[in-house]
A = this chain, B = another copy of it.
Amino acid sequence: MVQEVFDAYSFVFEEELLEEISTVGIIKEFKENERIIEIGDHVTSMPLLISGAIKILREDQDGDELLLYFLERGDTCAMTLSCCLGHTKSEIRAVAELPTKLIMIPIEKMEEWTSKYKSWMNFVFESYHTRLSEMLDTIDTIAFLNMDERLLKYLRDKAKINQNELVQITHQQIAYDLHTSRVVISRLLKKLELKGTIALNRNSIKVIDL
């Protein structure tokens, strides 16, 4: 039994399944900002997040990006899951937001466990549910909020994921994630700084009162 698997998933799966996961799963580690999967990649196994955090992005033909949501410990990528079951290619891009540890489950096990373990089935359904909600939230954000509000939400999420009020990031990277331009982000950040909401520094933003 892999201790980390136990730590992250013991409240979700029974002993026997945890054992199976530890046996057939392959642990993979990613450095911060390392690419985990690209759009169009063939999906051959399903990742369970053990530690760290992952950023899920959508990309259009022109290479324009948009941050969809973050995944944390105990999450799985419902997109990938969906791809596994449908045997289709990845529709999203995933990048490690922090140093991240995953355990990869071969697709074959998916179907086997779905009938064998009720807890697995519930996990799969639960994941779909969470992901759909998260997608709705993403849609709300881009449909109903202005850029300044989106930026605030972004900084909040970012600070939460990194468990740090000092967010290490460049304006350009924020612009990519929110699908806008660097100048726009610099402009809005400056406004926030003047209001005392944040403090700006080269390569980092200190969150004071979001």
Contact = CB atoms under 8 A, between A and B. Distances in A.
A58 B132 contact: no
A121 B129 CA distance: 15
Interface in A63-118: 64, 66, 68, 78-79, 82, 85-86, 88, 91-92, 114-115
B125 A135 contact: no
Interface stretch (A1-9, A140-148, A163-171): A140-148
Nearest to A124: B125
Secondary structure call for the A interface: helix
A144 B114 contact: no
Given A135-B135, A138-B139, A129 B91 contact: no
A16 interface: no
A82 B132 contact: yes
Interface residues of A, number: 32
Contact of A66 (B88, B125, B131, B143): B143
What number of copies of this chain does the assembly contain?
2
Given A121-B114, A132-B79, A58 B179 contact: no
B115 A78 contact: no
A121 B142 CA distance: 33
A78 B125 CA distance: 11
Nearest to A68: B139
Given A60-B144, A132-B132, A144-B179, 14 more contacts: A60-B140, A64-B144, A68-B139, A78-B132, A82-B132, A82-B133, A85-B125, A85-B126, A86-B125, A86-B129, A114-B121, A115-B115, A128-B128, A135-B135
